[in-house]
Amino acid sequence: MGLLDKAKGLSDRVVEKAVEFSSDELIADTIIKAVEKQEKVNRVLEARGSKYRVSNINMQMGIPPNVEFGIQRITEESSEK
């Protein structure tokens, strides 16, 4: 197998993975898992008396997919509500 054949095979696999990553079910599952993780981490932070919480989630459905969590310091007013 020549170098061009290997490159074409790799390109085909990349296209196949990109199609898989764009499926509605996969995106929904990823959102659900990310939100569940956010809620679990926030419970742990609260139990430990931390003034920080996971405040937002950014998702990029690329190759590879990426999930980023943003943190924010809570204020005394918002923690009393």
Domain boundaries, the chain: 3-80
Q: Which two tokens stand for residue 40?
A: 């679990």
Residues in CB range of 72: below 8 A, 6 or more apart: 52, 53, 55, 56
Residues in CB range of 42: below 8 A, 6 or more apart: 53, 54
Q: Are 71 and 54 in contact (CB under 8 A)?
A: yes
What pLDDT does 81 receive?
47
Q: Going residue by residue through the chain, which has 81 residues, state the pLDDT in tens, using 9 for 90 and above.
A: 677 777 767 777 766 666 666 678 888 888 899 999 999 999 999 999 999 999 999 988 776 778 899 999 998 655 554
Helices (H) and strands (E) in the chain, counts: 3, 2
What pLDDT does 53 receive?
97
